[in-house]
Amino acid sequence: MHDVVIVGAGPVGLFLACELGLAGCSVLVLEREPEPRSPWKADPLGMRGLSATSVEAFYRRGMLHPLLKASGVNDYPDADEPAPPRGVGHFAGMMLDPAKVDVASLPFRLPSPAMEGVMTTLEAVETVLYERASMLGVEVRRGVTVSAVAQDDETVVAQAGEHEYAARWLVGCDGGRSTVRGLAGFDFVGTEPQFTGYTMLATITDPEKLRPGFNLTPTGMYLRTPAQGYVGMLDFDGGAFDRSKRPGREHLQTVLRRVSGTDVTLSDVQLASSFTDRAMQTTTYRQGRVLLAGDAAHIHSPLGAQGLNLGLGDAVNLGWKLAATVHGHAPDGLVDTYTRERRPIGAWVLDWTRAQAAVMRPDPHAQAIQGVVRDLLGTRDGTTYVFDRTSGSSIRYDLGSEHPLVGRNAPDLRLEDGTRLGDLMQDGRGVVLDFSIGRCLHDSAMSWEGRMRYAAGPAMNDLGVGAVLVRPDGIVAWAGDRDPDREAFERVAGHWFGSPAI
């Protein structure tokens, strides 16, 4: 009997396993694939863009350097001043200029060792997380395909072949075609696809016929990256390609010729897969003792590089709440705030990808909108808007407070002695930063000592607050003025961390 069984050792399942392991839960991860390695996870097919917010989640758990190392990133900025980001990506295949991001207008941005997004691979992310999970005592069992789930008021049991695995909670992190989602009876709703997308590694006889970068054409879109033989494309066929089949060389060449408007030749295709822009989300992320996170809870096209970031955000949000529930000190309803906070973010990402698909459609109306959007993206405000959205900095949960910092990802506040918020978060507890002259919150914070850490002193830049309470997921739960109100602090602390232990 484990506290939590996680189905799926992808990046989301492993991140969640680390969070639960850090909080002292017993965790078993069941993974269908016997081997962790696959060409689909390695460079170039497994390349993924992590947003600054996702990188920050690694930083806050002491995994920034392992992540950078595994990703082969040697020139990550050692930022002591908020600088313009080095990469902003694209919207609907239209590239953005990072120099146009108006950093000064972004809310509550402070220098931090994790200011930038990172290009990495699924392999790198999973390797770092697997190593950490193992250190934390998490067991990952491979070659185990979960095919049945049953639950009652006390337990949930996953079945794989002859074996049964019992736990108090089960989390389906088993990807876009989630078995757990269907077995536990989640409703999955959304919109049908407009296109079939393809990624492939091929030998191209005449690669000079394909322009580098994203290319929106009158018949679709294709992408040629610096990685030799790597091509992506979108074919607006209404998602008609039968995705149960592996796309063959002839089919891929026909589509590539159509969307590129060239007579380019593929002499060989080593690896290819397809996806669509079907955009679906479960109506809740919890059914009794079964929860979902990552692609299991939401699917959408990869346009805008959001899925992994969204899933990691789910894991960070759920981990501490589920751990507190397992340990029996969670306030009533804590675990349900997971759906309440994360589902709207997922819904927004689905819309962000839908908007891009609509703009990329190869028809005169969409092409007219492309012109308008391109002009807007060429402005400082337009680029800043996209960056604010895709970097995660615009995310704000409604925690019922008017204070503009509450509900947001906490900036990396720093005491004058150099201690950073990120340093204080590594053990997975909440953090109270008290900048007040009389260290007003010391005694109150000590009542929750095992669940939150207290640090006091003058701040290098206090952003106008006298104290903050930061949840273990890095979200500001409360912010006080220069003379912090102890009662207000205690009320909010009790709301998120339960009754005081002392």
Ligand X SMILES: Cc1cc2nc3c(=O)[nH]c(=O)nc-3n(C[C@H](O)[C@H](O)[C@H](O)COP(=O)(O)OP(=O)(O)OC[C@H]3O[C@@H](n4cnc5c(N)ncnc54)[C@H](O)[C@@H]3O)c2cc1C
Residues that bind ligand X (CB under 6 A): 7-13, 30-33, 48-49, 122, 145-146, 173-175, 179, 199, 275, 294-295, 302, 305-309, 311
Instruction: Using the minimum distance from each CB to ligand X, give the nearer residue, 300 or 451.
Output: 300
CB of residue 347 to ligand X, shortest distance in Å: 16
Three-state SS for 245-263 is: CCCCHHHHHHHHHHHHCCC
* Measured distance CA(44)–CA(200) in Å, rounded: 10
* Measured distance CA(25)–CA(322) in Å, rounded: 9
Instruction: Using the minimum distance from each CB to ligand X, give the nearer residue, 22 or 171.
Output: 171
Instruction: Using the minimum distance from each CB to ligand X, give the nearer residue, 275 or 352.
Output: 275
CB of residue 329 to ligand X, shortest distance in Å: 28
Burial of residue 189 (CB within 10 Å: 0-12, 13-18, 19+) is exposed
Instruction: Using the minimum distance from each CB to ligand X, give the nearer residue, 384 or 391.
Output: 391
How far lies 70's CA from each of 66, 118, 183, 316, in Å?
6, 11, 36, 21
CB of residue 95 to ligand X, shortest distance in Å: 15
- Residue sitting closest to ligand X (CB): 10
CB of residue 387 to ligand X, shortest distance in Å: 15
Strand ranges for 370-501 from DSSP E: 430-434, 452-456, 467-470, 476-480
232 within 8 A of 159, measured Cβ to Cβ: no
Instruction: Using the minimum distance from each CB to ligand X, give the nearer residue, 307 or 498.
Output: 307
CB of residue 145 to ligand X, shortest distance in Å: 5
Instruction: Using the minimum distance from each CB to ligand X, give the nearer residue, 33 or 131.
Output: 33
CB of residue 32 to ligand X, shortest distance in Å: 4
Three-state SS for 10-78 is: CHHHHHHHHHHHHCCCCEEEEECCCCCCCCCCCCCCCEEEECHHHHHHHHCCCCHHHHHHHCCCCCCCC
260 within 8 A of 285, measured Cβ to Cβ: no
Instruction: Using the minimum distance from each CB to ligand X, give the nearer residue, 113 or 311.
Output: 311
CB of residue 130 to ligand X, shortest distance in Å: 11
